[in-house]
Amino acid sequence: MMQRPGMSKKSRKPTTADASVQTEAPKSPHLPVMLAEVLAALAPQDGELIIDGTFGAGGYSRAILASAGCRVLALDRDPTALAAAAPLIAEFGDRLKLVGKPFSHMQEAVQSLAQPATVDGVVLDIGVSSMQIDQPERGFSFQTDGPLDMRMSQTGPFAGPSAADIVNTFDADPLADILFQFGEERRSRQIARAIVMDREKVLFTTTKQLADLICRVLKTPKIDGRHSATRTFQALRIYVNDELGELRSGLAAAEQILKPGGRLVVVTFHSLEDRIVKDFFRTKSGRTPQGSRHGPALATVEAAASFDLPVARAVAPSDQECAINPRARSARLRWGVRTTAPAPERE
């Protein structure tokens, strides 16, 4: 992996009957993906503390709080997401607490609560949200022109270099590595060389500039029914936000803070994310995953399993949901139940 520079009720299997939860689209501008399946896996109970590590538009948090008399500690590194949470706070009061940090910081967020608490569930919806994609000024999408940014946190302590910074300063080889490793772009070197040549004349500042260059290099606006820039934009977004590193850290943090019987539920949207989650759960349930070109095989785990897996395979969204929300088509849900085995110390 390329290094980034610098069956109780609580653990029942999600069923198709639960899909009725999603027959009507929520009023939120963002449709929470696999909401019925997430709720079935989490099975919130009165008095519990659930962490929503990717608050976004608050779809999961709202549904969790409405399903039981529990509390939700929600994290998001995007300040705009937290600023839009006023209606939820007004509705649920002190049952909802928001923290402006990445979900890898969930352990310290729990420790900062006024009263000590054990964590009964953690849910993570990995990747960029529909809200961010639909805002041209965020620079995540090539569908509408906007600044080439892609940062989930544009201000504050978690704001790093933008996509424009990467595209305009990295040499061709490391830039190609990013496009190949995180976007699985087969023609990454051609695109990277073209970027370096073009920026000698004018720096890249907008999403349209980059998307147009990619279409020019690949000589087509679409490949396999998708825009030619899809893989490159995905790669830059993942790199800019260190999404895979954040995911690994978040999984380790959840293992630390979940009580025995606590549930960890993760929804991913592409193979790089899903492989990390799959390997984590296989290893932590006492099995060792095979290596891949994205990472070496993990060492055999000697310690007792820290998670049970009620469902061995990933759960896919229903056909009904995909018809309502096409963005759900690539989603996969995996979940596990925390055992009594101690978690290893985080590095």
Average pLDDT, the chain: 85
> CATH no. for residue 229?
1.10.150.170
- Cβ neighbours, 10 Å, residue 75: 24
Asked if the structure places residue 332 within a domain, the reply is: yes
pLDDT band (50, 70, 90) for residue 20: very low
Question: Among 103-112, 133-142, 205-214, 245-254, which is the least confidently predicted range?
Answer: 133-142
Task: Examine the domain organization and report whether 53 and 201 are in the same domain.
Answer: no
Mean pLDDT over 90-100 rounds to 95
Instruction: Give residues with Cβ within 8 angstroms of 279, minimum separation 6.
Output: 289, 295, 298
Mean pLDDT over 227-238 rounds to 93
- Which residue carries 């380790």 as its tokens? 252
List C-alpha distances in Å: 13 to 111, 251, 316. Answer: 31, 21, 13
Domain count, the chain: 2
Indicate whether 5 pLDDT > 50: no
Q: In DSSP terms, which residues pair with 265 in a beta bridge?
A: 123, 335
Q: pLDDT per residue over 269-278, tens digit each?
A: 999 999 999 9
What residues make up the domain containing 201? 153-240
Domain's final residue, options 240, 266, 291: 240
State the pLDDT at residue 347.
64
Task: Examine the domain organization and report whether 212 and 318 are in the same domain.
Answer: no
State the pLDDT at residue 131.
61
Indicate whether 188 pLDDT > 60: yes
What would the two tokens of residue 95 be? 């049952």
With a pLDDT cut of 70, the percent of the chain lying above it is 83
Distance CA 86, CA 143 (A): 30
State the pLDDT at residue 3.
44
Task: Examine the domain organization and report whether 280 and 234 are in the same domain.
Answer: no
Asked if the structure places residue 144 within a domain, the reply is: no
pLDDT band (50, 70, 90) for residue 287: confident
What would the two tokens of residue 344 be? 């290893």
> CATH no. for residue 283?
3.40.50.150
pLDDT band (50, 70, 90) for residue 9: very low
Asked if the structure places residue 292 within a domain, the reply is: yes
Asked if the structure places residue 141 within a domain, the reply is: no
Task: Examine the domain organization and report whether 28 and 96 are in the same domain.
Answer: yes
State the pLDDT at residue 154.
80
